[in-house]
Amino acid sequence: MNKAITVIKGDGIGPEITAQAVRALEKIAAKFGHEFTFGYALMGGCALDEYGVPLPEETIDMCRESDAVLLGAVGGPKWDYGPGHLRPEAGLLGIRGALGLFANIRPVKLFPALKKSCPLKDAAQKIDMIIVRELTSGAYFGDRRTYTDEEGYKTAYDTMKYNDYEIRRIARVAFDLARKRGKGLISVDKANVLDSSRLWREIVKDVRAMDYLDVELSDMLVDNAAMQLIRNPAQFDVIVTENLFGDILSDEASMLTGSLGMLPSASLGSSGLGLYEPIHGSAPDIAGTDTANPTAAILSAAMMLRFSLEMEREADEIETAVTRVLNRGYRTADIICKSELSSCEVVGCEKMGRLIADEIK
């Protein structure tokens, strides 16, 4: 099978981790008889340096013509001083809009070998959930303004806005995932305060009533969800929530796995084209030191195989390879515990990527 993949290395550690994800994909192609064609494009700070904009039209065109997009990370202090539309993160928001990507899928899974890296005192419980975050509306995209009011106070506002169509389409993505996993869906909102959350709750229930009566649905306020993620994370299977809440909750949940360096993500639309990236940032302070953890990028490549390229066996192969390497005692610096220093080996980004790729035989 021939597939075209656009690779956006991005900034900071982005080039290092994407190189290891590509290495794993090349091993998959060789094992299963596929042909992956990799095209490289710029976005973020490196695009600002080269083109003066965070998202060149050439990048959008290349992504649209590909079967999937693999992204490293964007941003860094070098570019933190321009106006909002000329910051690296504007490229990320822009590519989501240009490709029609409205659903962010973030699996949160604690590998058994990393239980000692989990900050919870009792990590014996199974932590394996998916957070489905709406990507194209809410406070990040609503009307906003900073101004001086009539009394001379500097004032700002951001608007959290949703319509029923936006809620319905993200709810369907979440219900479909919950149906496959078989454990139910928890919808997170702030319906005791926010009108947008009251609409959210109404529409999610309506979607279930129309097509998903076989899926158990529960509502949970976002503040309670934040507490329950720490108190009893095993109760969660699939969570669906709006943009701002999803951003915060998924970052909180990521620490249950031991490190941001372990969490992949997929941003999906209705066309099948997806953007796949680790949820961590560009970590410019360690860029070029070969200490970054490439596992989240490699697991993002596995999600790409599963969701955009319809290659379930191949995705399983990568995830199994990661499990084997961790079980053999290899760790990057972010996931090593003091108690493991005598029994595990700390390796760099390149070696961890090579070890995982070597398990794909």
Residues designated catalytic: 140, 190, 223, 247, 251
| 345-346 and 330-331 strand pairing | parallel
Q: How many helices (H) and strands (E) does the chain have?
A: 11, 14
Token pair 């290092």 is at which residue? 16
Contact 20, 294 (CB under 8 A): yes
Q: How far is Cα 97 from Cα 105, in angstroms, rounded to an integer?
A: 16
Cα 127 → chain centroid:
17
What string of DSSP letters covers 286-349?
Answer: TTTTT----HHHHHHHHHHHHHTS--HHHHHHHHHHHHHHHHTTEE-GGG--GGGTTTSEE--H
What string of DSSP letters covers 172-213?
Answer: HHHHHHHHHHTS-EEEEE-TTT-HHHHHHHHHHHHHHHHH-T
Distances (CA, A) of 130 to 26, 135, 151, 237, 299: 27, 15, 47, 6, 14
The radius of gyration computed from the CA coordinates of the chain, to the nearest angstrom, equals 20
Q: Side chain identity at 2, as an amino acid letter?
A: N
Residues making up the chain, counted from first to last: 361
Tokens of 46: 């490196």
Q: How many CB atoms lie within 10 A of CB 223?
A: 13
Q: How many CB atoms lie within 10 A of CB 161?
A: 15
